[in-house]
A = this chain, B = another copy of it.
Amino acid sequence: MTNIKDIAFHCGVAISTVSRVLNNHPDVSEDTREKVLRAVNELHYIPNTSARNLVRTSSDTIALLVKGVNNPFFAKLIKVIDREITRQGYTLELHHMDTSEDELRIGAQLTNERKLIGILFLGGRFNYSPEEIALINVPSVFCTYTNTFGTLDAGAYSSVAIDDKQAARDAVDTLVSLGHKKIAILTDNDCDNSISELRFQGYKDALGKHGIPFDPNLVACTGTFSDMHAIYQATSSLIARDSSFTAIFAIADLMAIAAIKSLSDHGKKVPEDCSVVAIDGLDLSEYTLPTLTTLVQPAEDMGLACAKTIIELIEHPGRNRQFTFETLLRPGGSVRRIDK
């Protein structure tokens, strides 16, 4: 098995030179570049991306700090971010934290201890203060969230997110356009200054816009995005409390899947007896029965924006930007028109 040392030895150059060639750095002579690439070819060296990163020094390292390990939407984003960061010649280091921990505090300690050059926060609070963000002394990007509830100046942070309120409004609009008026919501939380609260607000906004009174009885808080059993139970409690709803807006695909199961176990078929719309657009939920009707977050585009923004910030400090992506309805089999 040929490794990078064999290539360096074969060509009579330093390992770091081979590394520079493999990473397309400009500071290598054309002769050397050719020699190395020929050796790579002849010695059947497969320059794989992960291994390639490992020859770099830690000062090329960007951390991706993931809040909550069970989010399948994050899994897709991580893949895209990893690919792009690596392609651009940087190293990505992945760290996980519990949803109960504070990402800024963990991030601050990471940057101090790991000699990071940048940090991507995947998931986080929407309410940072300037004092809090000052803890992070390297460029950073908030991925999948922004500073809606916070007090940061636009020039002080970068973010890549969807418009969570708008996505929720679109979900409710979809249901209303099909004749639904008794629309329940399944949300993690309704007042946590986080993604759940925004989607909850979007739900209330949309009801208001359509002249539908908000009914607290139709709000089911799960306290989780990923614990299927807890989501199932929250839906069952909702049904026990008030089963008059004809539709559910679930703020995430996994929630919708557990909700559909609970509805089914209570004799309510989807979409015959209850319509369900969610936000996420996981590949998985395209293959559940029924196919989930959901607002798709553009994972590929968002992941690319996260990677490109952090690299831009590293190479040109201070150029902060906030990106907002639109979600797109993916029609499925979990909704139906009802008589008004």
Contact = CB atoms under 8 A, between A and B. Distances in A.
Interface of A: 1, 3, 48-51, 54-55, 69-70, 72, 75-76, 78-79, 82, 93-98, 101-102, 105-106, 108-110, 112-114, 132, 135, 227-229, 232, 254, 257-258, 260-261, 264, 283-284, 286-289, 291
A177 B48 CA distance: 47
Is chain A's binding surface mostly helix, strand, loop or mixed?
helix
Contact of A72 (B72, B78, B82, B288): B72
Contacts of A76: 70
B284 A50 contact: no
B94 A95 contact: yes
Contact of A289 (B69, B113, B289): B289
A113 B15 CA distance: 13
Given A105-B3, A289-B261, A229 B50 contact: no
Nearest to A114: B54
Contact of A96 (B94, B97, B232, B260): B94
Given A228-B287, A287-B232, A78 B69 contact: yes
A78 B232 CA distance: 24
Contacts of A232: 287
Contacts of A258: 287
B78 A96 contact: yes
Pick the 5 closest A-B CB pairs, nearest first: A261-B287, A54-B109, A54-B113, A258-B287, A228-B287
Contact of A82 (B48, B93, B96): B96
B113 A48 contact: no
Given A70-B76, A82-B96, A229-B283, 18 more contacts: A1-B102, A1-B135, A3-B109, A48-B106, A49-B98, A50-B95, A50-B96, A54-B106, A55-B109, A72-B72, A94-B95, A227-B283, A228-B283, A257-B287, A261-B288, A264-B289, A288-B288, A289-B289
Contacts of A260: 289
A115 to B, nearest CB: 11
A101 B48 contact: yes
A81 to B, nearest CB: 11
